[in-house]
């Protein structure tokens, strides 16, 4: 039996993004994140997988250990409400600081999504990608999923460019809770 999953971007989607987050003490989740992840898992039976670009590693601003410590802190904060992140996948590379081959894992490439789908036997056609950036929406589309854009950092103009390029998200959400509400309604057919 295959699983369905919600793939989330990390910084700017699950947690506030101070830029190249490497200190777990600076992790602050957005309102509703632990509770909504609990619902997605325990009521709607979705796997929860985080897919993020962490080019701060190749830039020398943070280490892989820093990223893992931040991921651990996010997991702890979410588990306090009974939910859990099934897995974190991140690409440490950036084409300015890494080879082209190394950088192939970066979103909008669906490479990390495909790896997660293989690891967890996920049916991508029954899954969603939620993020706050153009690369998140393109990654979800490239992997054949429905996409949800959390409109926290993108301007209306940037969203219009996505539409014009035929890369419209399935839904534009005001915040994390709004994004999850769309997934519940879409998944159940509005019931």
User: Which residues are catalytic, by number?
Assistant: 9, 11
| Contact between residue 30 and residue 8 where contact means Cβ atoms under 8 Å apart | no
Q: How far apart are the C-alpha atoms of 1 and 13, rounded to whole Å?
A: 29
How far apart CA 115 and CA 127 sit, in angstroms, is 14
Neighbours of 100 (CB within 10 A): 8
Q: Which one-letter DSSP state was computed for residue 103?
A: G
55 touches 19 (CB < 8 A): no
Q: Give the 3-state secondary structure of residue 46.
A: strand
d(CA 128, CA 103): 24
């Amino acid at each position: 039996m295959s699983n369905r999953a919600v793939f989330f971007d990390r910084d700017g989607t699950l947690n506030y993004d101070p830029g190249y987050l490497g200190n777990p003490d600076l992790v602050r989740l957005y309102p509703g994140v632990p509770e909504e992840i609990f619902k997605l898992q325990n009521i709607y039976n979705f796997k929860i997988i985080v897919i993020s670009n962490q080019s701060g590693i190749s830039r020398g601003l943070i280490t892989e250990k820093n990223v893992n410590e931040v991921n651990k802190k996010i997991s702890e904060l979410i588990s306090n409400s009974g939910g859990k992140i099934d897995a974190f996948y991140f690409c440490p590379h950036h084409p300015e600081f890494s080879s082209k081959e190394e950088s192939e894992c970066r979103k909008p490439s669906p490479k990390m999504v495909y790896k997660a789908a293989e690891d967890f036997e996920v049916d991508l056609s029954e899954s969603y990608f939620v993020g706050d950036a153009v690369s998140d929406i393109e990654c979800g589309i490239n992997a054949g999923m429905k996409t949800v854009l959390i409109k926290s950092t993108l301007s209306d103009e940037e969203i219009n460019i996505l539409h014009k390029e035929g890369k419209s998200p399935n839904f534009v959400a005001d915040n994390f809770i709004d994004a999850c509400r769309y997934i519940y309604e879409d998944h159940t057919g509005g019931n």
